[in-house]
Amino acid sequence: MKLFAFLRGKWLFLLASLFTALFCGLLLTALGADLYAALFVSDVFVLGLLAGLLLEYLQKRRFYQELEKTLDELDKKYLLPNLLDEPDFPEGRLCWRALSEAGKSMSDEVAACRRAQEEYRDYVETWVHEVKTPIASALLLAENHPGEVSDLMAGELHRIDELVEQSMFYARSRHVEKDYLLRRVTLSELVSSALRRSARLLIESRAAVERENLALPAAADQKWIDFILTQLLTNSVKYAQGSLRVRFAGSEEPECVVLTVSDNGPGIPPEDLPRVCEKGFTGQNGRSGSRSSGMGLYLCRELCGKMGVGFSVSCPPEGGTSVQLRFPRSSLIEGVCYETVRKP
Amino acid sequence: MAKLVLVEDDAVLRRELKLLLETYGYACAAPACFTEMPEAILRESPDLVLLDLTLPGKDGYSICRELRLKSSVPVIVLTSRDTEADELLSMNFGADDFIAKPFNRQILLAHIAVILRRSGLQARVMTRRGVSFDPERASVSYEGREIELTKNEGKILALLFRSAGRTVSREELMNELWQSDEFVDDNTLTVNMNRLRRRLEEIGVVDFLVTRRGKGYEI
């Protein structure tokens, strides 16, 4: 706070005081006092006034400068009241208390929202696990009693299962840090696991699978990558034209190990490409014919983001769509990873 | 005949799983009351336990742990909680295998067969119409003559033997191969089937593997 600004804030008081000094001087002169004596009294009055204001300014300046500086430097502005000392002048104290109260009430509000969100997430998670049992029952019912209707039903049940899975990963993608477990795996393990899961879908669509150079190590949560690769494979099948070929290829970059998943589908129109990972974006392919919720790629990118895996979609000139997953090779992750007990 | 105990609280799933297991030649007890676990399981003296994790009252983890204190019977955990952490937890509680719901029934049957064979409770060698097949060694013998099959041919024959008397579709066969990381396409399957037939003919097994046009294969 500059002195000038401070004084400007006090202009009414200053004006009134000057007026009073003038009035006193005039009054003293009118009462027959000596002109010099009247001037002297007025001057003393004005000087005392200015000294008082200067002292007040110095006192407040410390607090306001601290306030401005902290506010400027602070990343999370709501922490402001916690970082300021309580000032020693009444208006300042009032401000400080108001700030503290507002901050406290806001953090209560945020905590309540966070709790509600966490509860909702837990509910979704529980619901998903509960609904898996009836899906398993229905699927087994369909498979135990084969027939044309049962086969169709089984197909639909698989789709339901996949959508249910998607909702769970959506809930997890909101706050996830506790939900995943990084392990050292090879790209080949990641790809095989996803292919086993999507076997039915890919076999039914008569897809041909190519795998190349997948013996590279990566740090990842297998279940998450399963989900992500399943989303990509589902997309490839959904938009396939003619006989589908899916290719998984591993490669190395200085900072990361790259898994490229590409297909020979229609690709993505260039004008849609920058937006395909946005939530709810359906694009030209999504609108023409096939169902698209605009959630698949969005979720893939979100989940990869949480795991620190790079995710990018491109359309190579030779056609089709190509998705790259970049697993970082940082020493930090190397340290965090550990081998778990393999299944018997 | 191997005896399984199925611990699952969902009535429909219990019934259908029991039906499936009995169709594939297992004796299966499926208690509908879970208050006396794991004693009720032990009373059946099973060869293998299929255990759901979310049960009314005591959860599957505690049952599994208590079961481990008293018996070394193999346990396959059936669960809808399938994160990496859940999987680790089940293994730590002494489960032998872990299958996520909803499961593919061929995968479930294959897992059961592997565990039973490993604990010596299921004859390794399966026989149909005089043809004997050993899935571990992928070898077929007929009237004193024996041949070794390739991995893929062995997998195909294993599924056909497991489903003896029923028609197995090409999709199911391909799925079986995919589940053991052989991601073959339709043409490769045809090649494999033809080669398998020729190999069987080498030891005099003819008209054993029947093609049901448009449906699949059967032995």
Helix (H, G, I), strand (E, B) or coil at B84: helix
Q: Which of B91, B98, B103 lies nearest to residue A136, judging by beta carbons?
A: B103
Whether residues B106 and B8 share a domain: the answer is yes
CB A326 within 8 A of CB A253: yes
Neighbours of A291 (CB within 10 A): 8
Taking the CA atoms of A27, A33, A39 and A42 in sequence, report the sign of the dihedral they define. Answer: negative
Residue B3 CB contacts under 8 Å (≥ 6 apart), including other chains: B26, B27, B28, B29, B44, B45, B46, B47, B48
The continuous run of DSSP H or E covering A240 comes out as none
Which of B120, B97, B128, B160 shows the shortest CA–CA distance to B2? B120
CA atoms within 13 A on the CB side of B58: 17
Domain CATH for A285: 3.30.565.10
Confidence of residue A29 (pLDDT cuts 50, 70, 90): confident
Check if A163 contacts B (Cβ < 8 Å): no
Residue B92: the pLDDT is 85
Placement of tokens 């974006």 in the chain: A281
Whether residues B113 and B151 share a domain: the answer is no
- Cβ–Cβ of A140/B23 closer than 8 Å? no
Q: Note the pTM of the prediction, 2 decimals.
A: 0.78
> Which residues of chain B fall below pLDDT 70?
122-123
Q: Which residue has the higher pLDDT, A335 or A32?
A: A32
CB B139 within 8 A of CB B148: yes
Q: Which of A45, A80, A105 is the last residue of a domain?
A: A105
Min Cα separation A307/chain B (Å):
14
CA nearest A208 in B: which residue?
A: B185
Whether residues B60 and B98 share a domain: the answer is yes
- Rounded CA-CA distance A100/A128 in Å is 41
Helices (H), A74-198: 80-83, 90-144, 148-174, 187-197
Residue type, A335: G
- Rounded CA-CA distance A247/A202 in Å is 13
The whole-chain average pLDDT of chain A stands at: 85
- Rounded CA-CA distance B110/A44 in Å is 104
Q: Which of A77, A105, A133 is the last residue of a domain?
A: A105
CB A246 within 8 A of CB A298: no
Check if B104 contacts A (Cβ < 8 Å): yes
Residue B165: the pLDDT is 84
Radius of gyration of chain B (CA): 19
Q: Which of B83, B118, B153 is the last residue of a domain?
A: B118
CA nearest A159 in B: which residue?
A: B102
Min Cα separation B139/chain A (Å):
23
Residue A286: the pLDDT is 62
- Structural domain for A267, as ranges: 183-336
Question: How many structural domains does chain B have?
Answer: 2
CB A273 within 8 A of CB A262: no
Check if B91 contacts A (Cβ < 8 Å): yes
Question: What are B48-93's pLDDT values in tens digits?
Answer: 999 998 888 888 888 888 898 888 899 999 888 777 777 888 888 8
Residue A1: the pLDDT is 67
Mean pLDDT of the A294-304 span: 89
- Cβ–Cβ of B88/A204 closer than 8 Å? no
Helix (H, G, I), strand (E, B) or coil at B152: helix
Domain CATH for B165: 1.10.10.10
Residue A287: the pLDDT is 61
Whether residues A88 and A221 share a domain: the answer is no
Min Cα separation A199/chain B (Å):
6
- Structural domain for B14, as ranges: 3-118
Domain CATH for B59: 3.40.50.2300
Q: What is the ipTM of this complex?
A: 0.84
Question: What are A33-54's pLDDT values in tens digits?
Answer: 888 888 888 888 889 988 988 8
Check if B119 contacts A (Cβ < 8 Å): no
B105-118 and B151-162 helices cross at what angle (nearest 10)?
Answer: 100
Q: Is 60 exceeded by the pLDDT of residue A109?
A: yes
Two tokens at B2?
């191997």
Q: Which of A55, A73, A105 is the last residue of a domain?
A: A105
Residue A298: the pLDDT is 92
Whether residues A193 and A299 share a domain: the answer is yes
Question: How many structural domains does chain A have?
Answer: 2
Whether residues B113 and B23 share a domain: the answer is yes
Whether residues B57 and B38 share a domain: the answer is yes
Question: What are A3-21's pLDDT values in tens digits?
Answer: 888 888 888 988 998 898 8
- Cβ–Cβ of B178/A139 closer than 8 Å? no
Residue A281: the pLDDT is 84
Whether residues B8 and B113 share a domain: the answer is yes
Q: Which of B76, B98, B118 is the last residue of a domain?
A: B118
What residues form DSSP beta bridges with B48?
A: B4
Q: Which of A200, A209, A221 lies nearest to residue B183, judging by beta carbons?
A: A209
- Rounded CA-CA distance A115/A113 in Å is 5
